[in-house]
Structure 1
Amino acid sequence: MISKRFLLSRRMARTVLAGASLSLLSACMVGPDFQKPVPLGSLHYDRQAEQQLATGQNADAPRIRLAQGIEGDWWSTLQSAKLDQVMRKAIDGNLDLTAADATIAQANEAVAAARGTLRPQVDFGASGGRQGAGGSASNIYSVGPSVSFDFDIFGGKKRAVEERGALADLQRHRYDAAYLTLTGDVASQALRLASARAQIDAVETLLEQDRRTLALVQTGHRFGSATQVDVALAQTQLAQDQTLLPPLAQQRDVARHALSVLASKGPADWMPPDFGMADFALPSTLPVSLPSEVAHDRPDILAAEAQLHAASAAIGVATADLYPRLQLSASLATAGPGIGTLWSIAGGLAAPIFHGGTLKANQRGSVDGYKASLADYRQTVVRSLGQVADVLQAINHDAEEYAAQERALAAADASLKLNQAGYRAGEIDVLKVLDAQRAYQRALLGQIQARTAQYLDAVQLSVALGGNASGAFARRTTANETR
């Protein structure tokens, strides 16, 4: 035989579920439905720079391919196996990405918790005590389940779930932004390390020339063709050029330590490989997506959009608080001794009447928050256009500077050789040789710095365009699942 308690329990459950089904059919969602921002109307970043780079007017600058997105790992255009090795180590070990990963998991749990409030809430309770009357006393107890359900007539809880989902999206985009920043920093520090080493090698070459010049002057002094003043000048030039080494060594060590930290390793525990300028190749062409596509490619813009979505859902949450709430509750308990089964089903309706203006203020505040998020989104988009425009012009100007430095280096090299030959022939004094050496020194270091700037421009352009970082977290999750 089926017990009466079981029949009551089933009847109570059917009542609660019927009410829940009715709420799903009748509930309305207050607050605005989120609409993605209107796509950018801009078709260009900087017309002049685009025309020059797209048509190859500057032979020393990489050409750009407009309306083409970045494919694969953006740093692969630098064609450096060493960089790819360090990049993978940094991506796998970076603690900022690990923290972002955990933050995403936390945000996902917040979404799951919010979704749970849309379902019936079932609890179990038990109580016991002792009561007396007329000189007699007895023990009493009650034990059984209870069920409650909020019909969410105006969709406040659903808007809360939507808000939590948008905030989870925000964290995923922040992960992608951290990934983009990390990869950009790794490439930049690797190039700075290579540049410092190249400049150190150049200074070592200059010092060797200084020593040869000093030896030549000292020989001339012994044979009477040079004065003690000439010897002092040559010694001064050598001493001055030696002061160039410590700052360059510091630049090298700072870049090396930075790469260790980006890989979340102490500098004493892991050191990156010795990068040289020959380990990189300057891309001959660079893809440049349209401004309308940047909004889909840059993680910071997508994060601002997710923040805007969350602000829109918050309006719905605050608006729903202005309307009545309908709840259904039921309980079933065994009480005793001698009482039997107790059950109850109750519905409750609560509507706000007077809260001192708090609820309306919350709603107005949520609308203001949405307006602020919209302004932040638009400013993020505009800022991204400015960053790309700056880099495009930098590619042009740095190519012009590199060409000028190449010409200066060639002229300085020719002048130095002529002056050295003239001094050996006794036709000129040592001052002209030293002046030619200083000019060659400046031109050589300037040429290395100009070439480094061109490499860094290529890195900065890829980063400014989003670096194909959108979806980096999803790709990492897929990779972990397939391992």
Structure 2
Amino acid sequence: MSNSIKLSVLIAAIALAGCTVGPNFARPEAPASNGYAATGDAVRPIAGGPHATLGEGAGPRWWQAFGSAQLDALVDKAIANNNSLAASNATLERAREQIRAVAGKRLPQIDANARIEREQVNLQAFGFDSSAFPGISTKNPVFNLYSVGGGVSYDLDLFGRNRRKLEQAVAIAEAQQRQTEAAHLTIAGRVVEQVLIIATYRARIAVAEALLAEDQKLVDLTDKRRIAGEGTLTEVTNVQAQLAADRDDIPQLRQPIDEARHMLATLTGVAPDALGPTDFDIATFTLPADVPVAIPATLVRKRPDILQAEADLHASTAAIGVATAELYPNISIGATLTYAAGTPGGLFSNDLKGFDIFGGLTAPIFHGGTLKAQQRMAVDDAKAKAATYRQTILEAFQQVADLLSALQTDQRALVNHQDSVAIAGRSRNLSRRSFQVGNSGILTVLDSERLYQRAQLGLVDARAKQFLNVARLYVATAGGWTGPAVIAATP
């Protein structure tokens, strides 16, 4: 058997014997729990309120459950134009390109080269004495040299360092994709939240304006009573003062609307003056009767922040393999071919070519404990990522449990505020009639008006909080935006 054949057989045997050191990542098991409430904490849903249905959870366009085409358009605009999402998308693309860059290192590396040189040869360095050549005027000749060639090299990756690096790059890209999904979900949630804030304060302004109209009626009524000799100027002044005070409350209610509009403009990627109308009315929104909620086992396979923590754990596990492979020898093989001549026309002549075939071995001998320390650091980092993953799951379960409980609390609060409005309305009507017939003073009427206004504002806030918590529950359990899949790692 020739030497070249023996070398080829040896190289093939070494390559086949290569292994991948370090732990293989195993996806953590999903929790066995089927619910979120602790023993004894389960509460029966209240009639008329939204009810959580445990299953696969909401779809990616969960905001459509509120039945507002205007809201849908704003969310779509934010997802398309938000600058933070654009940055996250670009970062994701960078991570995907990094996968391709790392994967390319596992293939043979081929390079070409060409040189033009002007050289002077030192004859004495080769043992020639210029006195032996009396006819030559130049001691050391000067000439041109042209060369062209190329080479190929290949890292055998005996212990899987490059394979683990590729695995790590894929996991990092997946973590970035999950972060991007979470960003889309968060942006959609923030848009819905700002819209609900606008709708809530517009409803509060409507209550305040209705109160102003009632105050004006009282001013007219008390003034007529004064003119007729049945009332006093003090009563008129008291009602006028209350009218002025209630009028001053409205500008303060408009400020949160302006702030929410400015936030919506930022979220949708436009200047505030380019946002367009946002005349949302909370009465036009639909409160879903059934809110689909992912069961715990589904949530950990769906919620972006949990999947990001899982991908971070995968990347850290692969990093252990990279650090472990650094402790072992590495072999690379390759070959080069070069043509050289004194003139361009002389290139590619078989008489002027040279080649070499090589194999190289590098093995760590002494690094002062650095490589071992780096391996231990990778192990510690994986332990930290595992703890972070477990904590992320627990915090997600807590958030969902809190919001499920809020569904019951919000509905109770809504029912109580509806009763309060009804009672305060009857009290206001009775106090007015009593004042008109002279059985009570104007202060009693003003007090009943204040109670009725507070009851109405409480009802507005209770209804808004119910919408807001339903939206938060969707955000907590929906899967969010899904982009192109990350390139799968090659084992």
- TM-score higher than 0.5 here? yes
Describe how 1:399-410 pairs up with structure 2 within 5 A.
399-410=411-422
Residues in 2 aligned to 1:20 and 1:285: alpha-carbon distance in whole angstroms: 65
User: Could you give the per-residue CA deviations for residues 208-266 of structure 1, whole angstroms, max 9, x where no partner exists?
Assistant: 10111111112212222222221222122212212321221011111122212111011
Output the CA distance in 2 between the equivalents of 1:434 and 1:36: 66
- CA–CA distance in 2 between the matches of 1:48 and 1:228? 64
Q: Which residue in the other structure is 2:482 paired with?
A: 472
Match of 1:43 among 22, 34, 37: 34
Give the total of aligned pairs.
Answer: 459
- What's the C-alpha RMSD, in Å, of the aligned pairs? 2.2
Instruction: Give the CA deviation at 1:18.
Output: 7.8
Counterpart of 1:445? 457
Listed as ranges, the matches of 1:211-360 within 5 Å are 211-337=216-342, 340-360=352-372
Q: Is contact 1:120-1:148 (8 Å) kept?
A: yes
The structure-2 alpha-carbon separation of the partners of 1:48 and 1:275, relative to structure 1 and needing over 3 Å to count, comes to: farther
How has the CA–CA distance of structure 1 residues 129 and 27 changed in structure 2, closer, same or farther, with 3 Å as cutoff?
Answer: farther
- 1:114-193 pair list within 5 angstroms: 114-127=102-115, 128-132=117-121, 133=123, 134=130, 135-137=139-141, 138-193=143-198
Aligned letter for 2:259? Answer: V
Q: Secondary structure at the match of 1:70?
A: coil
Counterparts of 1:263 and 1:49, CA distance in 2? 44
Bigger Cα displacement from structure 2, 335-344 vs 120-129: 335-344
Closer/same/farther in 2, CA of residues 19 and 202 from structure 1, 3 Å limit? farther
CA contact 2:113–2:148 (8 Å) conserved in 1: yes
Distance in 2 between residues matched to 1:110 and 1:16, nearest whole Å: 34
1:123 is paired with a residue of what secondary structure? Answer: strand
Q: Is the 8 A contact 1:173 1:302 kept in 2?
A: yes
- Cα distance change, pair 319–236 in 1 and its aligned pair in 2 (3 A): same
- Give the Cα separation in 1 of the matches to 2:13 and 2:113: 27
* CA gap 1:20/1:302 in 2 versus in 1, 3 angstroms: farther
Aligned partner of 1:81 in structure 2 is 69
Match of 1:480 in 2: none
Q: 1:26 aligns with which of 4, 7, 17?
A: 17
> Contact 2:51 / 2:407 at 8 angstroms: preserved in 1?
no
Contact kept? 1:49, 1:396, Cα under 8 Å: no
**Quick check: 1:214–1:235 contact (8 Å CA) kept in 2?**
yes
Amino acid at match of 2:307: L
Q: Give the match's secondary structure for 2:272.
A: coil
SS at 1:367's partner residue? helix
Matched to 2:479, the amino acid is: N
Alignment partners' CA distance in 2, 1:239 and 1:16: 99
Matched, 1:411 2:402: no
Please tell me whether the aligned partners of residues 164 and 318 of structure 2 are also in contact (alpha carbons under 8 angstroms).
yes
Cα distance in 1, alignment partners of residues 78 and 51 from structure 2: 30
Q: If you compute each CA radius of gyration, which structure gives the higher value, 1 or 2? A: 2
**Cα distance in 2, alignment partners of residues 389 and 345 from structure 1:** 66
By how many angstroms is 1:296 displaced? 1.1
Deviation at 1:273, TM superposition (A): 3.2
**2:105 counterpart of 1:100:** no
SS in 1 for 2:483: helix
How far did 1:16 drift? Answer: 10
SS at match of 2:151: strand
- Cα distance change on mapping 1:227 and 1:22 into 2, 3 Å: farther
Q: CA deviation at 1:125?
A: 2.2
On the 8 A contact 2:79/2:85 being kept in 1, the answer is: yes
Counterpart position of 1:386:
398
Secondary structure (helix, strand or coil) at the match of 1:296 reads coil
TM-score by length of 2: 0.89
- Counterpart position of 1:478: none
What is the CA-CA distance between 1:20 and the residue it aligns to? Answer: 7.4
Partners in 1 of 2:382 and 2:6 — Cα distance?
Answer: 40
| Superimposed CA distance per residue, residues 292-312 of structure 1 (whole angstroms, 9 cap, x where no aligned partner) | 111111101111111111101
Partner of residue 135, structure 2: none
> 2:434 is matched with which residue?
422
Q: For structure 2, which runs of at least 5 residues remain unmatched after alignment?
A: 124-129, 131-138, 486-491
| Structure 1 residue 409, shift from structure 2 partner | 0.3
Distance 1:140 1:88 in 2: 65
Tell me how far apart the structure 2 counterparts of residues 255 and 327 of structure 1 sit (CA, whole Å): 61
Quote the sequence identity (%). 39
Alpha-carbon displacement from aligned partner over 1:186-221 (angstroms, at most 9, x marks no partner): 111111111111111111000110111111112212
Amino acid in the other structure paired with 2:398: G
- Alpha-carbon distance change, 415 to 179 in structure 1, aligned in 2, over 3 angstroms: same
**Separation (CA, whole Å) in 2 of partners of 1:156 and 1:457:** 48
Deviation at 1:129, TM superposition (A): 3.7
Instruction: Indicate if the aligned counterparts of 2:178 and 2:307 stay in contact, CA closer than 8 A.
Output: yes
Partner letter of residue 300 of structure 2? A
Aligned to 2:385: 373
Q: Secondary structure at the match of 2:339?
A: strand
